[in-house]
Amino acid sequence: MGSCLTKCHHGQQEETRPDDRYTTDNTRADSNRVQDPEFDENLRQKSRHRADGDGDRGKGWRRKSSGLSRFSQDGRHVIQPPFTVGAFNIQKFGMAKLSDKETLQLIARLVREFDILLVQEVVDVSGKALNILLEEVNSGQSSQGSGLYEVLASPRVGRSSHKEQYAIFYKSTLVQIKNSEVYHDPGDIFIREPFLVSVSVNTVSPVGNEFCLVCIHTQPTSANKEIDRLVDVQKHVKDTWNMDNIIILGDLNASGQYIKSRDWETNRLRGAEYNWLIADHVDTTATNTLAAYDRIIVSGPMMDVVVPNSAQVFRYDQVYQLDQDILKKVSDHYPVCFSLETLAHPKIQKNITTRMIISVEDKRFITSPPDQFLDEFSLKQYKARGLYAKDGQLTVIEVRSQRISNLSKVVSTVEALRKYDRSLVSYSVLASIKHQVNFVMKSWEKKLLEEEKGKFQVLIQVDVEEKKIVCSLLINT
């Protein structure tokens, strides 16, 4: 038995099916649903042409359009993928590193993984390395396809002859740079002053479409002091730029020998208003150091549009199946990243339903024969129906509750089903649903109540073929 929490987007058709081969009550499935290989798509008839008398396609017939593709233009899709923000310390990034063609191509590929990416430890004095990388990133790209990138580089910062730059690579079709500056750093606390960049993103939900990046690469030996002082940098951004949405990101050296557990007890950036998306136990290094040096901290209302569980260390060597020698050529760090929720095109927003699903799978099965169970099922608040294969065999039984307006009533609704038939809802399934509702769903409850659109529904799917039961909680938001 297992459970999962996902957030999905659906079109106008609200119901989902366990398998598109199935039909309801032994009738043919909706023509809008994908079926067997011989599935025949809906056709739309032009006004002057008809099909032949025997039903063959006449002149002028064509596939039925979704009506949505006409809105995909100017580099923007109907439903834009989640907006990805990343930070990557590319060890000693300069001309020497880019002289290796394979390394250059790999770094360019990594940049294209993100919609906006902070690159740290740019040590190139000539200023050519960033332009070479940008050219490689955009090589073969199209402004009408995945979008071209631009780069914004900070002035060189540092106290000694060794100075570094921060560089922001961003997709120009999505991101607009509004303002940027190097933090003035009263008291000279930071060895490399943070680079502040305010941006606007045209596809992100309004609560989070404007934010400021606080780019930082701390000095390891003074990491705790610099991390603590980032609270003052945040206050400067709020007071000077009138921005509440702030993302602090970069190589904070916030782990290992540079930060002790007792340091966190007094560090102001560990306050409740700061959301550390990369946890203390996560390894962000590409070596055997095992430390959470690279971090992302989010504050402000935009936390409401951070995609749940999207924050991660991007272990590109595993994704791209690279060996350790190539990994060492790039950096001793991995990129860290997270995603923001995006909007559908405003002209078709009304056709989109957002649904979150908590799903618990149980390998145990009902005790009574499926056909008998379906015939005899009778329980207030629930309706049952059978889904049949083309040969008339019962394949899935769906038991669906009425709409539930209050999250607190969900558990009691599942409990009623367990009282009716303990083999349909085991104690383990009930306990799993309780856990998800009490702990995971609490973070969504405020949003659901504010929007006054919370519609909950319990769905039990009895898979006759695979002999398993799936209990799901559907939430339309």
**What is the DSSP code (8-state) at residue 73?**
B
Up-side HSE of residue 17: CA atoms within 13 Å toward CB?
Answer: 20
Q: Is residue 401 part of a domain?
A: yes
In a shared domain, residues 355 and 304: no
Q: Are residues 104 and 251 in the same domain?
A: yes
For residue 386, the cross-strand partners are: 397
Question: What is the pLDDT tens value at each position of the chain, 477 positions in all?
Answer: 443 333 333 333 333 333 333 333 333 333 333 333 333 334 334 444 444 445 455 555 555 555 555 545 544 555 678 999 999 999 999 999 999 999 999 999 999 999 999 999 999 999 899 999 999 999 977 655 557 999 999 999 998 888 999 999 999 999 999 999 999 999 999 999 999 999 999 889 899 999 999 999 999 999 999 999 999 999 999 999 999 999 999 999 999 899 988 999 999 999 999 999 999 999 999 998 889 999 999 999 999 899 888 999 999 999 999 998 999 999 999 999 999 998 866 666 666 665 667 788 888 899 999 999 999 999 988 999 999 988 889 999 999 998 887 777 888 899 999 999 999 999 888 888 888 777 655 555 555 554 444 578 889 999 998 899 998 888 765
Assess whether 110 and 19 both reside in one domain.
no
End-of-domain residue from the set 321, 340, 359: 340
Shared domain check, 334 and 460: no
Give the DSSP H or E segment for 320.
helix 316-320
Q: Per the structure, how many domains does the chain have?
A: 2
Residues involved in catalysis: 164, 217
- In this structure, is residue 383 part of a structural domain? yes
Inter-residue contact 193 to 183 (CB < 8 Å):
yes
Q: Are residues 310 and 386 in the same domain?
A: no
pTM of the model: 0.63
Task: Tell which of 302, 320, 340 closes a domain.
Answer: 340
**Has residue 104 been placed in a domain?**
yes
Q: Is residue 56 part of a domain?
A: no
Q: Are residues 251 and 390 in the same domain?
A: no
Find the helix or strand (DSSP H, E) in which 251 lies. Answer: strand 246-251
CATH, residue 128: 3.60.10.10
Tokens matching residue 49: 């042409």
Contact 439, 458 (CB under 8 A): no
pLDDT at residue 234, rounded to an integer: 96
Are residues 296 and 377 both part of a single domain?
no
Task: Assess whether 336 and 354 both reside in one domain.
Answer: no
Contact 227, 261 (CB under 8 A): no
- Name the token pair of 304: 């409401």
Same domain membership, residue 12 and residue 105: no
Residues 162 and 259 in one domain: yes
Euclidean distance between CA atoms 476 and 355, whole angstroms: 5
In a domain? residue 47? no
For strands 468-476 and 353-362, give the pairing. Answer: antiparallel
**What pLDDT shows up at residue 477?**
55
Candidates 156, 240, 147; CA nearest to 198 is: 240
User: Within 10 Å of residue 304's Cβ, how many Cβ atoms?
Assistant: 15
- Asked if 321 and 362 sit in the same domain, the reply is no
Written as one letter, the residue type at 283 is D
Domain co-membership, 196 together with 315: yes
| Residue 189 included in any domain | yes
CA distance 436 to 3: 9
* Contacts by 267-276, CB closer than 8 A, 24 or more apart: 267/224, 267/227, 267/228, 268/228, 268/231, 269/227, 269/228, 269/230, 269/231, 269/297, 271/231, 273/299, 274/248, 274/298, 274/299, 275/299, 275/303, 275/306
Domain's final residue, options 305, 340, 375: 340
Domain of residue 290: give its range: 83-340
pLDDT of residue 60: 57
Q: What's the chain's length in residues?
A: 477
